[in-house]
Amino acid sequence: MLVKCETKSNRVKGLSFHPKLSWVLASLHSGTIQLWDYRIGSLIDKFEEHEGGPVRGVCFHKSQPLFVSGGDDYKIKIWNYKLRRCIFTLLGHLDYIRTVEFHDEYPWILSASDDQTIRIWNWQSRSCIAVLTGHNHYVMCAHFHPKEDLVVSASLDQTVRVWDTSGLRDKTVSIGGGGPPSSQGTSDVFGTSDAVVKYVLEGHERGVNWAAFHPTLPLIVSGADDRLIKLWRMNDSKAWEVDTLRGHFNNVSSVMFHPKKELILSNSEDRTIRVWDTTKRIGIHTFRRENDRFWIITAHRTSNLIAVGHDAGMVVFKLDCERPLAMCNGSSLCIVQERDAQLMDLDKALTGHKLSSCRPASNVMTSGMKYLQYNPYNSTETNILVYYTQDNGCYDLFVGPSHLTGDTHVSPKQGNAQSVCFTTRNRFAVLQQNGSIGIYSLENELSKKFEPPVTTECIFPGGNNRIIFKSEEKMVLYDLTSRKVVDEVSVPGGVRYTVWSPNGQYVAFMSKHNVLMAGKNLEYYHSFHENIRVKSGAWDENGVFVYATLSHVKYCLPNGDSGIIHSLSSPIYIVRVHKQHMYYIDREHAVHKQRLNCTEYLFKLSLHKRQFNDVKMWITNGRLCGNAMIGYLKQKGFPEVALHFVEDQQTRFNLALEYGHIEEAKAAAAEIDDPACWNRLGLEALRQGNKQIVEMVYQRTKNFDALSFLYLMTGDTPKLAKMLKIAEMRNDVMSRFNNALMLGAVEERVKILAEMGQVPLAALTAKTHHLTEFVDKLEEQLQGNDISRHIPANARLMLPPVPLLRPAAKNDDTNWPLLKSVKQIFETTTFDNVAASQESPFMDTQEVPEDTEVGGGWGDDDLNSPTGGPVAVGADWGDMDDLDLGADVIEESHVEEKGVGLTLGDSVQTKWLRKRRLVCDLVAAGEFEEALTLLKRRLGLMNPDPLEPLFKEAYWATCSALPGLPQVPSLHYPLLSEGNPKSRDIAPVLLFNSKAIIEKVKEAQKLLTAGKFGDGLNLFRHALQVIPLSAAKDSAEEKALLEMIEVCREYVNFTRLEMTRKQLAPTDAARNIDLAAYMTCCKVQSKIHNCLALRLAMSESYRLQNFVTAASFAKRLVQGNWGEQGNAIIPKARQVVANCEKSASDAHAIQFDPKCNVEDVKLCVGSFTPFAATDAVVACPYCSSSYKQQFKGKLCEACQLCEIGANTLGIQLFPL
């Protein structure tokens, strides 16, 4: 059972599929009618006008937006689902209505009721045209024949009746929808002779619940409370029982013929759905449900969908997969049609020649075939693998000529497998039942066998000499030559199909609702989710993935851009996309060719590849949708291209401003001529440093104050002086004073103050600046007031700053240099000057809490050791024709962009990531998120918190900054260990190199020797956490770093044991001895630390009177070579041995065995208990600390980074 939709509701009593839309009606025992979309599994609408109990029957009209329902309220309601309401009600039945049904051709409704009658209604005239009587118990169902004028009914009177309605058709069917009421037999409540009983089928021993016609043959099937299903045949004169199907062990609720296959489907109150072979009349399969009884079953008119209703809802399902078995290699398509393997050349015809026949199906219900593989690596002959699900998995290998000129028959070579795929020209891989991989020749002979690196469910082709393993949601690419895992990706939902591009550079992994696109080495490109099922897909020759869902054909570029090409009326299976044509197979296994509208995605692809000649062509000829393209181009940073779609000047102005094209914006603003637009243009021009456009805008808008300030900033004092004259003509006193202040014209300021009656201020200004010619006249007006005392002692001349750069010539350009490459490419009217763009790849595919201190030290101190066109100005300045201001003020501002053409190059970070893509390189480039993702894949990272400060340190270690001039940002300069910023091969400075890590470990060892366990633990763990952020220069350095991981791991666990021991209660003596003993089993690097651990264990055991244990440690001390620092301990050890031999006993039972070999002791570092022989061991994927099974999935206590037991690729410190 392939479940397509499952709903939860009250008991479902009636079901009906919409003939065209993906809808199904469900009438409930609660009286509600639900409308579901089974494609997306969502409830669309509810209809709740029935009152008084369950709605038992429901049916869609074949062509009109109508459905009919009948319920226990004796009413038949006709609904319009577009209006979402009942449009009228038919009354006449006197008891519960069991089923209702529309006729396919006539305007009739058929209803069956517990009032022992069957009624036929004309829904156009809204009247009853016939009452069929004869049953003497409840009529449980009634159905029209799909082609003939017959009705079948089933009743609890143990009979099935067939009624002939041809007389009713002749009498009532007309264009008007029926004659007068008297001719329709409605005057006689017990019926008329217009519909008569043709056959009465008797044979059931109890009431019959359901009967149905065969869609094409003269057969009837019925199911009853006697738990039997009976098959009946009829001819023109009689009907008789053919056979009885036994198997249900409770009442049979509903039974039907499959519309396309020779099957009978039945469901029952015994909680089962049973499938029967119509020809052999035997049971094929049984679907069981634990707690829910089945009540109704129905099938879709045109598809293989089936729906059943049960106590808790409904299920929409198919009995078998309808996907055609096909695979395309270039223009060659291999497809299985009617169980024959056909080979066709799509460039020549859509029909082919028979290669061979596949195995017969095990039963009528399922085909048994799962998928077909075509060998793309062999160009000299045709190699095909067909995989079957029958017999616990098996395959057929067909080897034939490369080109067929007629039908032939190739004998297949057969074998058993869990999955198969081709790997090379003459080899294919077989996933065997025991989980191993076998490589077979085309003679079906085993050449080699190996165990996959992961638990494998299925295998897929991965390229030449490569194979892809599916392990749950992971896809692992494995190289058969080097026997190494290349990379892996995860696809939510689990991969069902893989699709490779024709050139083998891209692969798409398709699950039920997700697609992941990757490169040939599984470099991640893009992934997306669809709400409805993804059915198929193919790559075109440009590297665009075209795929089909249940309702649409869509596309997706490797950079993630996607869209809809067109919608679908029925599902298709795409096998090839080539030269703007799509080749697909429908569910009838017919091959079709259709022209594909690729304009949109080819335009986006050209833009992504920066092939601007092609962009021009698609803009000119593509008929692209303006609004959609404008939004896309703005999103992708190409709003300038959008100007080719836009004619509205306001929109052109906004777009031009958005990407900074001042010339386009100025032209649009001139057309609009709105002050708000001019102001926005001025702000953008000011931001870009385009002084001439700013000047023109300020002139247009008569923003004199801003214009004066612009001249001040640019050092244009002649024009600033003219602004002073203009202010004087305008009688703007404040503007005069401000311009005089910015010019440093003290005399003009004195005149302005005097004219405005500010004589004291004028006199004060004149005297301060020693303008004697004004002082006398002004002091006369002061009438003897002395202003000298108001002059500050340190008064200085107020003059504007001297400009650092003045225009050397009249038309000299003072604009900032701009990036002009984009503008030169995207001109307003033509692309004629665009050079031919070169092919470039889509993207760069290279890559690549515990206490800190507890207690004292070791116990003894003696062991411690140390832009634009012309703009007319004159008229915009008002009536000042009589003012001689010179030509400079009123002349047109010629805005000519003479900036230097610049081209953006690759950043330094991009260069070193192209060369090498290790974690340290990603961190140095600031790509923290990608670095964490890589660590999760490589090491199973679970806790990134300790890495945050390390990432920041490593990043800032590669950064330097050179302070610039005032008001200018600093220049950032990355620190490199190899090359220079202009070089191609460069590498960043690494803060955490092998030398720095070794120094940290030595410092931590000194702290440990001094008895500072908390500080030592922090430093060892810090060293362990920074090793993934390092990189090795060669294999020797890589080996040293890997050894350093083991050293740090042992020391971390060594110090954790001691700190845990010191936290124990004094009464926990046995545990105290155990932890001290386990310290002696740690493989620490320093002899002095081994010696100190043995001394500690000996002392604690002796103190707690475990003399046998203490003697074992003392003997190890005596027998060891500890150097000068350890020699002082040996006499005490000998004395301990002597004393322990006198009292050879242990006061406490401990887990540690003193007689064991220290090398054989394996300790769980999570619980600090030894492993039993039968204990399963899981390890940290990074530091390899061992844990018991119950710790799987938890955080490693040693490194505090990784998930215990995670399946990862392993650490990488040196590029492959």
Write the pLDDT tens digit of every residue in 974-1010: 888 888 877 878 888 888 888 889 999 999 989 988 8
Q: State mean pLDDT over 32-54.
A: 89
Write the pLDDT tens digit of every residue in 477-502: 999 888 888 888 888 888 889 999 99
pLDDT-derived band at 1154 (thresholds 50, 70, 90) equals confident
CA angle at 733 for the pair 730 and 734, rounded to the nearest 5°? 115
Write the pLDDT tens digit of every residue in 59-102: 999 999 999 999 999 999 999 999 999 999 999 999 999 999 99
At 167 the pLDDT is 84
pLDDT top residue among 885 and 1031: 1031
Q: How far apart are CA 517 and CA 126, in angstroms?
A: 58
Name the average pLDDT for the chain: 82
pLDDT-derived band at 1137 (thresholds 50, 70, 90) equals confident
Q: State mean pLDDT over 206-212.
A: 94
Mean pLDDT is lowest, of 50-54, 504-508, 662-666, 872-876, for: 872-876
At 188 the pLDDT is 46
At 815 the pLDDT is 67
Tokens linked to 1122: 């500890």
Q: How far apart are CA 125 and CA 108, in angstroms?
A: 10
Q: State mean pLDDT over 1124-1141.
A: 82
At 258 the pLDDT is 92
At 897 the pLDDT is 42
Question: Which of 531, 534, 566 minimizes the C-alpha distance to 552?
Answer: 566
At 185 the pLDDT is 41
Q: State mean pLDDT over 218-244.
A: 92
Angle between helices 649-659 and 626-635 (to 10 degrees): 20
DSSP bridge pairs for 122: 108, 127
At 143 the pLDDT is 95
pLDDT-derived band at 368 (thresholds 50, 70, 90) equals confident
Q: How far apart are CA 785 and CA 530, in angstroms?
A: 90
At 818 the pLDDT is 53
Mean pLDDT is lowest, of 174-183, 374-383, 751-760, 844-853, for: 844-853
Where do the DSSP E strands lie in 330-393?
A: 332-337, 340-345, 353-357, 369-374, 381-388
Burial 1015-1044 (b: 16+ CB within 10 A, else e): bbbbbbbbbbbbbbbbbbeeeebbeebeeb
* Cβ atoms of 162 and 225 closer than 8 Å: no
At 1173 the pLDDT is 81
pLDDT top residue among 228 and 347: 228
State which H helix or E strand residue 950 sits in. helix 947-956
**Whether the predicted pLDDT of 846 surpasses 80:** no
At 805 the pLDDT is 64
* Cβ atoms of 585 and 572 closer than 8 Å: yes
**H-only helix segments in 412-456:** none
Residue 71: how many CB atoms within 10 A of its CB?
A: 27
DSSP-derived secondary structure for 1133-1188? HHHHHHHHHHT--BSS--SS-TTS-GGG--EETTTTEEPPTT--EEE-TTT--EEE
Say if residue 44 is exposed, middle or buried (CB neighbours under 10 Å; 0-12, 13-18, 19+): middle
* Cβ atoms of 562 and 530 closer than 8 Å: no
Residue 396: how many CB atoms within 10 A of its CB?
A: 24
pLDDT-derived band at 1036 (thresholds 50, 70, 90) equals confident
Residue 43: how many CB atoms within 10 A of its CB?
A: 12
At 820 the pLDDT is 40
Q: How far apart are CA 581 and CA 570, in angstroms?
A: 19
* 306: amino acid identity, one letter: I
Burial 1056-1075 (b: 16+ CB within 10 A, else e): bbbbbbeeeeeeebbbbbbb
At 556 the pLDDT is 92
Q: How far apart are CA 34 and CA 57, in angstroms?
A: 12
Between the alpha carbon of residue 641 and those of residues 522, 605, 1107, the distances in Å are: 34, 14, 88
pLDDT top residue among 373 and 770: 373
Mean pLDDT is lowest, of 6-15, 339-348, 562-571, 766-775, for: 766-775
End-to-end distance of the chain based on CA atoms, in angstroms? 47
pLDDT-derived band at 1055 (thresholds 50, 70, 90) equals very high
3-state secondary structure 270-282: CCEEEEEECCCCE
- The rounded radius of gyration (Å) of the Cα atoms in the chain is 45
At 904 the pLDDT is 57
Write the pLDDT tens digit of every residue in 1080-1097: 888 888 888 888 888 899
Q: State mean pLDDT over 1111-1122.
A: 85
Residue 523: how many CB atoms within 10 A of its CB?
A: 19
pTM over 0.85: no
Tokens linked to 798: 């107020």
At 902 the pLDDT is 45
Tokens linked to 789: 């005392």
Sign, CA dihedral 423-429-431-435, equals negative
Mean pLDDT is lowest, of 112-116, 578-582, 828-832, for: 828-832
Residue 512: how many CB atoms within 10 A of its CB?
A: 13
Are β-strands 381-388 and 1163-1164 bridged in parallel, bridged antiparallel, or unpaired?
unpaired
pLDDT top residue among 691 and 623: 691
Write the pLDDT tens digit of every residue in 785-841: 666 667 777 776 666 666 666 665 555 556 665 544 334 433 433 333 433 333 333
pLDDT-derived band at 253 (thresholds 50, 70, 90) equals very high
State which H helix or E strand residue 475 sits in. strand 474-479
pLDDT top residue among 973 and 899: 973
Percentage of the chain surpassing pLDDT 90? 33
At 1216 the pLDDT is 64
At 893 the pLDDT is 42
**Whether the predicted pLDDT of 860 surpasses 80:** no
